[in-house]
Amino acid sequence: MKWTWIAAVALVAFGGVESAEAAAGGCHAVSGDFTAVSPPDCPSFLCTHGTLTGDLAGTYDFVAAGVTPEGAVAGSSTITLENGGVIHGSDTSVLHPDGTFVTTVRIVGGTRQYAHASGALVAPGAFTSNGGTEGTYSGTICLGVGED
């Protein structure tokens, strides 16, 4: 397992990009762009609804659950891919005074081939003048053995 994680990190660091749907099991580097807006209905103090392009083409929704002792926003996200697969994440977002942020999504499962997925995405971005956000994401998704 340790070598699988090291190989996944090396793959991301050296730019080897493979679609998350490319093969059953194993770890896959993913990257792309995102945009988001605040949805009209939000059960929390902060929610976003966005669009992902690139390797995880689809939509995502984030709902804040609170603020960490360090001041980061913590919550959960749901990525719904164009193929209908769903990835669930546990998120932490560090907001900066200059209007930028970095969100880290720890993948905690999902549906279909993502039912036992793990890994993480890092999404640096910025708030836009229209009240939305935009940025990029990259990371590694590890699928469970036998999942396709």
For the stretch 35-70, pLDDT in tens is 999 999 999 999 999 999 999 999 999 999 999 999
Q: What are phi and psi of 65, to 5 degrees?
A: -110, -20
Q: Find the angle CA(144)-CA(148)-CA(135) to the nearest 5 degrees.
A: 80
Instruction: Quote the CA–CA distance of 26 and 5 in Å, as a whole number.
Output: 10
List pLDDT tens digits, range 113-147: 999 999 999 999 999 999 899 999 999 999 986 55
High-pLDDT (> 90) share of the chain, %: 78
Per-residue pLDDT at 12 exceeds 50: no
Closest CA to 50 of 133, 110, 137: 133
* CA 134/CA 81 separation, integer angstroms: 18
Tokens of 8: 């996944």
Region 74-84: mean pLDDT is 97
Above 90 in pLDDT, residue 104? Answer: yes
Of residues 3 and 68, more confidently modeled: 68
Cα gap 10→66, rounded to integer Å: 33
| 98 — pLDDT class (breaks 50, 70, 90) | very high
> What's the length of the chain?
148
